[in-house]
Amino acid sequence: MKDSMESHTSHIKFWRKRNKPELTLDDITIVDRKMLNRAVGAAALGNAMEWFDFGVYSFLAVTIGHVFFPSGSASAQLIATFATFAAAFLIRPLGGLVFGPLGDKIGRQKVLAFTMIMMAIGTFSIGLIPSYSSIGIAAPILLLVARLVQGFSTGGEYGGAATFIAEYSTDKRRGFMGSWLEFGTLGGYLLGAGLVTGLTAFITPQQLLDWGWRIPFYIAAPLGLFGLYIRLKLEETPAFQKHMEKQEQIEDNKPRQTLFEMLRKYWRPMLQCIGLVLLFNVSNYMLTSYMPSYLTSVLGLSELSGLMLIMVVMFIMMPMTLLLGFWNDRLGRKPVLLAGAVGLIVLSIPALMLIGQGGIVGVFCGLMLLGVLHTFFSGTMPSALPALFTTNTRYSALAIGFNISVSLFGGTTPLITSWLVSETGSVMVPAYYLMGAALIGAITVFTLKETARKPLIGSAPAVENKEEAKKLLKKIRLRKKKREDEDASLSNNTPTQ
């Protein structure tokens, strides 16, 4: 408690300057525990919905290649499938440009409700598209359109969900509460992968090719409706409500900050966001999107074996993500992120060597090593990224920075890695790719300020109850009085000229 109070006071200077000269009990946000739990659940559910689709698409990549692209080499079909997968990421920044500013203008909750239903429609539509053999070139075109709808909606999803949880959480537990967002990611991915694995195990390959692959995409409709219902029941975040109350006091004729002005003013945290997301998402998509096909197409494992191994790794990663969320609240965001980046630099080659042996035990150990390292990022990023920006620009800046990085580096990871493996013939390409991303990420981490157990920039401290608020306020006043006494003492001891 003592360390937590001291970290609050060290960060409160910015808040006091920007808002009020003196902090009062009314300024401190007391978080409603039930509303916080609902907010975390609703945000995590949306992320689960997004990654349910990614899990299904990644695990069915080979089948989708056969259904939507003309017959040819297996490598060409796989690359075409991943190209369609990557195309959705190219439009994500546009979604961020649209939904991010909307989230800062009309509220996080409204935008997140809209992105939820849009994602569900895009995913459900994929299951309705006829095959290439039925309608020819129209099939891959319609698949691309559906993926673009998904990508556009997803452009406003992660930044909004991370912002929503961060602004609802208390300062002491923001890391742990944020880690539930990635718990939802893994849960959604595992659900999608589990469905594909079940289909692979219980129906014939021909049945999977004919109709079985469509079933997981149909499930997106009821999932989306349930998620929409949950999100519509939420209230706006306390931080955004207070921000809007202050905005109402500003003169109506004061011009609103333009996107260009925001990017010019916050270029440094924007670059930091891009660097962190590069590290986070290259690690993520390498494991969750590329590895299922790598195990099958490059190493020659059976589809069922590869799917089962990655599912077990995902399942173990879920509680580990929460554990890292718990510990980054205590150890700090920077040490945890740096440990993960250094771990990737040192251990990527050993992990790929284990996977390359082809034996079940070796493959599992290599995948597990990559999975454990990824939890250092998945448990920390949802709280580290929103803390880079102020309340009035948080949704916009995070959505834009996150999606630019994902589009350029994360979503293209399966495509680029597949192409490099095909061109070079080296099965170690994924390791080198991970090491490069980790090096950039480590450099970025060194430029960060520690934000664990501190209020978000531009927001008041957030605590669990009134007693904690009173203790925090007392601590702040005692430190202020001590500083004033020290200043007075220095002034009295200064010799006159």
pLDDT value, residue 194? 83
**Residue 367 pLDDT greater than 90, yes or no:** yes
Percent of the chain with pLDDT over 90: 28
Q: Which two tokens stand for residue 466?
A: 């009134």
Helix (H) or strand (E) holding 127: none
Average pLDDT over every residue of 437-447: 96
**Residue 282 pLDDT greater than 80, yes or no:** yes
3-state helix, strand, coil in the chain (%, to 5): 80, 0, 20
**Residue 67 pLDDT greater than 80, yes or no:** yes
* pLDDT level of residue 487 (50, 70, 90 thresholds): low
Average pLDDT over every residue of 64-72: 78
DSSP string covering 239-266, please?
Answer: HHHHHHHHHHTS-TTSPPPPHHHHHHHT
Of the listed ranges 46-60, 268-282, 348-362, 372-386, the least confidently predicted one is 46-60
pLDDT value, residue 249? 57
pTM: predicted TM-score of the whole model, two decimal places? 0.84
**Residue 210 pLDDT greater than 60, yes or no:** yes
Average pLDDT over every residue of 390-404: 89
Q: Which residues have C-beta within 8 Å of that of residue 247, sequence separation ≥ 6?
A: 392
**Residue 192 pLDDT greater than 50, yes or no:** yes
- Which is more confident, 67 or 317? 317
CB of 330 within 8 A of CB of 99?
Answer: no
Torsion of Cα atoms, 370 then 342 then 412 then 360, to 10°:
-20
pLDDT value, residue 353? 93
Q: With CA atoms as reference, report the closest residue to 86 among 374, 398, 418.
A: 418
pLDDT value, residue 297? 77
Which among 116-125, 289-298, 472-481 has the top mean pLDDT?
A: 116-125
* pLDDT level of residue 75 (50, 70, 90 thresholds): low
**Residue 107 pLDDT greater than 60, yes or no:** yes
486 class by beta-carbon count within 10 Å (0-12 exposed, 13-18 middle, 19+ buried) = exposed
pLDDT value, residue 60? 81
DSSP string covering 13-80, please?
Answer: HHHHHHS-SS--GGGSEE--HHHHHHHHHHHHHHHHHHHHHHHHHHHTHHHHHHHHS-SS-HHHHHHH
* Domains of the chain: residue spans and CATH: 2-237+259-469 (1.20.1250.20)
List, for residues 114-173, the tens digit of each pLDDT value: 888 888 888 889 889 998 888 888 888 888 888 888 888 888 888 889 998 998 899 999
**Residue 21 pLDDT greater than 60, yes or no:** no
**Residue 327 pLDDT greater than 90, yes or no:** yes
The tokens 């790794």 sit on which residue? 313
DSSP secondary structure letter of residue 171: G
